[in-house]
Structure 1
Amino acid sequence: MKLLSLLVLVIVWCAGVTAQTDNPNYDKALADSLGADEYGMKSYIFVILKTGTIQIDDKQKVGELFRGHMDNINRLVKMKKLIVAGPFGKNDHSYRGLFVFDSKSKEEVITLLQTDPAIKEKLLEAELFDWYGSAALPTYLKVSDRVSKTHP
């Protein structure tokens, strides 16, 4: 009976050991600086930009709004609030692009989105989602600037 109990204890212990393993590359200081949890993840706000409710026929006005949109993207990146941005190709959903904000607060992101002239004028509309992703995501921005030959 003691042997059986010992065998069960060893099996349970082995199962626990193999279920999770420590990462030998773990850098606590880096993880802490990025706000990572034990899995190297954190919360973000994911935004899908869609065609807005207003249609503007004045091409010059549309151009000005989108120039302001791009300038605002660059400003939010410099603030380290916006960490991913990019357009979608043509699709059946009226999706125009996406943003990933380094924020846990939808209220903060809503305020930041209102600084975008294309959103403020309702040329674009934003849908916000809580998203859980790699805490290392913001680190790609350092490399991103080095691979862009021209800035939009």
Structure 2
Amino acid sequence: MKYLIYILIFSLLPISCSAQKNSNQKSPNEFDQKLADSLGADKYGMKQYILVILKTEKANLTDKDLLNNHFRGHMENIQRLAKEGKLALAGPFSTKNERDYRGIFIFNVKTKEEAENLLKTDPAVIAGVFDFEIYPWYGSAALPMFLKYHEKISKENP
């Protein structure tokens, strides 16, 4: 009986040590104050962004080469703003709609004025290809983090 108790104690000892070791490690879902602060998160993990809806403007551009240049500049501007951390999300609508909405930007800035200044760097906006509507938007502070993963899953840029 005495040997049975020793065997039981020694067999449970590694399990107890393992449980203690795991309790000292952070869970991947545990709150991370340092990360929250670096992203500008409030107590809900959210923050203010500026949402821009790009709309088709009635620019009378018949020169296809010129129009293509504006769109190429538009795409290059998107990539530049994303690399600078100013653009958290961008993309076109997948179908036409009755409001002539073409795409969205979610800018990682605090004011409409900052967003307007960024829009003034877009060749397609400058040329009158796009008009825009601007709205404050409240979303996850982790939104900008997805861009590094997008680069890992996209083979080429448009």
- TM-score bin, normalised by smaller chain: 0.7 to 0.9
Q: CA deviation at 1:138?
A: 0.5
Write the distance in 2 (CA, Å) between the matches of 1:136 and 1:55.
40
Where 2:99 maps in the other structure, the secondary structure is coil
Q: CA deviation at 1:55?
A: 2.3
Is structure 2 residue 38 aligned with structure 1 residue 42? no
Write the distance in 2 (CA, Å) between the matches of 1:134 and 1:83.
11
Is structure 2 residue 77 aligned with structure 1 residue 68? no
Write the distance in 2 (CA, Å) between the matches of 1:134 and 1:71.
26
Aligned-pair RMSD on alpha carbons? 0.9
Write the distance in 2 (CA, Å) between the matches of 1:48 and 1:92.
14
Who is 1:81 aligned against? 86
Q: Percent identity?
A: 53
Runs (4+) off by over 4 Å:
none
Pick the structure with greater CA Rg.
2
Is structure 2 residue 155 aligned with structure 1 residue 134? no
TM-score, normalization: structure 1? Answer: 0.82
Write the distance in 2 (CA, Å) between the matches of 1:55 and 1:105.
31
For residues 57-86 of structure 1, the C-alpha deviation after alignment (integer angstroms, 9 at most, x for no partner) is 111111010000001001101111011000
Where 1:30 maps in the other structure, the secondary structure is helix
Write the distance in 1 (CA, Å) between the matches of 2:40 and 2:136.
16
Is structure 2 residue 115 aligned with structure 1 residue 116? no
Q: CA deviation at 1:90?
A: 1.3
* Structure 2 spans left out of the alignment, 5+ residues: 1-28
Where 1:44 maps in the other structure, the secondary structure is strand
